[in-house]
Structure 1
Amino acid sequence: MYRLHFTPDAASLAVRLVLEELGQPYEARLIDRAGGELQSESYRALQPLGLIPVLETPDGPMFETAAILLYLADRHGGIAPAPADPDRAQFLKWLFFIAHNIHPTLLQLFYPDRTAGPDCARQVVDHASTRMQGFLSIFDRMLAEERPTWFSADRPSLMAYYLGLLMRWLAAPGARHSFRFPPSDYPAIHAVLLAHEARPAAIKAAGAESLGPTLFTDPA
């Protein structure tokens, strides 16, 4: 059985969503973030940078969100093209587009001080906002033109759960932030996220972490 180290509404939610979609049994272990567990020796043995998520698997502990999701897809099937599938190359290309462009740019928006210090935070946010707009527009246009089966409203997709989590944060970042990227601005993405947040796996995961029913498209 898997063991997911999590905090509510963190990157671990993407892993929980996929585990629920796959119907895999797992233990969800709440991290004592306020108590400093992320800096503890025991947690750093699982995740050397002290970040979330960690999934303990039969093959050892896994970290990095995209790596965990791809591992689960390859191990259990059904939520991504298999390694021999002709669609695999396109799927991998866009999965890593999200992991290496959208996800880190989101972190720059939320934590600009980490990128260039507090004196340059405004410039970091402005630059990251422009980049984020470009990345989301590129992905949305690709969906509208290519209509890939591995990111559609008709079947569950690990990539939709991953991007859905990121869009959740971008849609309602909080009063202290000046940026907002509602999924409704990106029609092709929005249609897929609407379908995925209505799936039983998403409803169950949202309930487990006390999140609202419109998990991706209109977060509370």
Structure 2
Amino acid sequence: MTLTLWHIPDWASQIIRLALEERALPYQVRAMDWDAGDFDAPGFRALNPLGLIPTLETPDGPIFETAAILLWLNARHGGLGPAPSDPAQAAFLSWLMFVSNTVHPTVMAMIHPDRPAGPDASGEAGRLALERLVTQAAQLETLITTHAPLWLTPAQPALGHYIGILIRWAICLPADPALRFTLKPFPALTAILAAHEATTAARRLAKIDSLGPTPYTAPEAA
């Protein structure tokens, strides 16, 4: 069975598409259209009852949630992070969950501050979310400079691409330019993301999905 990714460019499914491309896995794309109601279609809801992407159809059945899909791909095909028997997997899992459960919601609060706070408090919610992301980026910066884990390099690219897409959104998507993130205080994180956006797979997808030549480090240049 060929893997099938339900996908909209530059949504969270982009993270999974990057992983598939990095491992040169055969897959097909099912294009989604939010405005057309595709997320509520009964056939899609049968695959993902939450009606969200990424959703990946696999020989083991459909999988949803970004971290879950990355872990399945790494366990089944390898090369995206430490192997289950590798002692480095303990730290990798901790930081993957940090990115999935902490950084990802923070960035979404920056992009959609009205969702957690309502329209009247959206400005303050966006400001607080930006403050949290700066703190979280500093934690990643410290991790890189003190430990330089292999699983944050393109040699094991899943987590780096995940972070890269989130940072891309935080730089570009908040409606108020004053509430957008900058990588300038984080040179080590910037270098890691530059290495990821320069991989052959990332460059190919950046062209296919119109993400620009520097989708993580300078997405505003696209």
Q: Deviations over 1:175-211 (max 9, x none)?
A: 5453222334311111111111111110111122122
SS of equivalent to 2:178: coil
SS of equivalent to 1:178: helix
* 1:1-220 matches, cutoff 5 A: 1-152=2-153, 155-173=155-173, 175-219=175-219, 220=222
Measured in 1, the distance between the counterparts of 2:113 and 2:170 equals 15
Greater alpha carbon shift after TM alignment, 93-102 vs 172-181: 172-181
Unmatched 5+ stretches in structure 2: none
SS of equivalent to 2:91: helix
SS of equivalent to 2:151: coil
One-letter code aligned to 1:188: A
Measured in 2, the distance between the counterparts of 1:44 and 1:18 equals 24
One-letter code aligned to 1:104: P
One-letter code aligned to 2:182: P
CA contact (8 A) 1:112 1:121 kept: yes
Unmatched 5+ stretches in structure 1: none
* Number of equivalent positions: 219
SS of equivalent to 2:116: helix
Measured in 2, the distance between the counterparts of 1:176 and 1:7 equals 24
SS of equivalent to 1:125: helix
CA contact (8 A) 2:110 2:170 kept: no
* Offset, 1:123: 2.0
Measured in 2, the distance between the counterparts of 1:119 and 1:44 equals 33
CA contact (8 A) 1:184 1:217 kept: no
Measured in 1, the distance between the counterparts of 2:96 and 2:15 equals 13
Measured in 2, the distance between the counterparts of 1:124 and 1:93 equals 27
One-letter code aligned to 2:96: L
Measured in 2, the distance between the counterparts of 1:96 and 1:71 equals 14
One-letter code aligned to 2:149: P
Identity rate of aligned residues, in percent? Answer: 44
Measured in 1, the distance between the counterparts of 2:137 and 2:117 equals 24
Measured in 2, the distance between the counterparts of 1:94 and 1:216 equals 19
Measured in 1, the distance between the counterparts of 2:215 and 2:123 equals 29
SS of equivalent to 1:27: strand
CA contact (8 A) 2:130 2:181 kept: no
SS of equivalent to 1:3: strand
CA contact (8 A) 1:4 1:12 kept: yes
Measured in 1, the distance between the counterparts of 2:183 and 2:46 equals 37
